[in-house]
Amino acid sequence: MNNTNVRVALITGGSGGIGRAVAERLAGDGIAVGVHYASSKSKADETVSAITSAGGKAIAVGGDVADEKDMSAAFDAVEMAFGGIDVVVNTAGIMLLSPIATLDLDDLDRMHRTNIRGTFVVSQQAARRVRSGGAIINFSTSVTRLQFPNYGAYAASKGAVEAMTLVLARELRGKDITVNAVAPGPTATPLFLSGKDETTIEHLSKAAPLERLGTPEDIAETVAFLAGPARWINGQVLFANGGLG
d(CA 214, CA 228) in angstroms, rounded, equals 22
In which element (H, E) is residue 139 found?
A: strand 135-139
Q: How many residues does the chain have?
A: 245
d(CA 167, CA 179) in angstroms, rounded, equals 9
Question: pTM of the entire structure?
Answer: 0.94
Q: Where are the domains of the chain?
A: 8-237
Mention every residue, 6+ apart, whose C-beta is less than 8 A from residue 124: 68
d(CA 121, CA 144) in angstroms, rounded, equals 22
d(CA 143, CA 54) in angstroms, rounded, equals 35
Candidates 3.40.50.1980, 3.40.50.720, 3.40.50.800, 1.10.3720.10; correct CATH number of 8-237?
Answer: 3.40.50.720
Other C-beta atoms closer than 10 Å to the C-beta of 188 total: 16
Mention every residue, 6+ apart, whose C-beta is less than 8 A from residue 76: none
Question: Tell me, what's the pLDDT at 3?
Answer: 44
**Nearest partner of 148 among 187, 101, 99, judged by Cα:** 99
Q: Are 81 and 59 spatial neighbours (Cβ–Cβ below 8 Å)? A: yes
d(CA 12, CA 142) in angstroms, rounded, equals 20
Q: Which residues are designated catalytic? A: 154
Ordered per-residue pLDDT tens for the chain, 245 residues: 444 579 999 999 998 899 999 999 999 999 999 999 998 899 999 999 999 999 999 999 999 999 999 999 999 999 999 999 999 999 999 999 999 999 999 999 999 999 999 999 999 999 999 999 999 999 999 999 998 999 999 999 999 999 999 999 999 999 999 999 999 998 988 777 777 888 888 888 888 999 999 999 999 999 999 999 999 999 999 999 999 87
